[in-house]
Structure 1
Amino acid sequence: MNLFDHSNRDRNDGTRRIYALYEIAHTSVDFSAAACFLIGSVLFLWPAYETAAIWLFIIGSVFFMAKPTLRLLRELHLYRMGKLDTLAKRTD
């Protein structure tokens, strides 16, 4: 059992549920980042909104940084679930 091993997500119903929840979070963050950059880009067309545009770019960058963080957290979560499964099998 390794991190980023595709078989970790299909181990049981619990791992499939966790994987799906993290994918929903990842997709939501992706859309949020894209929206921030799109709206920020449009706001740059008017000098009066330049500060708001800059802030949207910063917020969008934070969202983009959250994406790999979510992936790593998901993989660690699935890995720990596998360790618990292995431990439970040893005690049977």
Structure 2
Amino acid sequence: MKLFDHRNRERNADTRRVYALFEIAHTAVDFGAALCFTLGSVLFFWKRYETEAIWLFTIGSVLFMVKPSLRLAREIKLWRMGKLDRLAEREQCDG
């Protein structure tokens, strides 16, 4: 198996659970980023809230950067789980 192979997430109950947890985290980060950008946009209507708006845009940008990081971490985790499964199968065959 290789990274970003859809079969990695359907291998067993553990891989489906890991995939689901990462999808929940990804969705939460998506909502957080959207909320930051929306609030930041509204705050820019008032000059006195400009600093807060800038901070919200910065936080939203960081959250958008987290999204691909979560996807890569998920795929590496699923790939490693597959390597462990294959190693265990090999050990059972040898033993």
TM-score bracket for this pair, using the shorter chain length: over 0.9
Provide the TM-score with structure 1 as the length reference.
Answer: 1.00
The one-letter code matched in structure 2 to 1:51 is T
The match for 1:72 is 72
Alignment partners' CA distance in 2, 1:30 and 1:62: 11
What is the percent sequence identity of the aligned residues?
Answer: 70
Alignment partners' CA distance in 1, 2:22 and 2:81: 14
Name stretches of at least 5 consecutive residues in structure 2 with no aligned partner: none
Which consecutive segments of 4 or more residues in structure 1 shift more than 2 A? Answer: none
Residue 32 (structure 2) pairs with residue 38 (structure 1): no
Alignment deviations for residues 2-46 of structure 1 (CA, whole Å, 9 cap, x no partner): 100000000000000000000000000000000000000000000
Higher radius of gyration, 1 or 2: 2
Alignment partners' CA distance in 2, 1:30 and 1:5: 23
The match for 2:84 is 84
Name stretches of at least 5 consecutive residues in structure 1 with no aligned partner: none
CA RMSD of aligned residues (A): 0.2
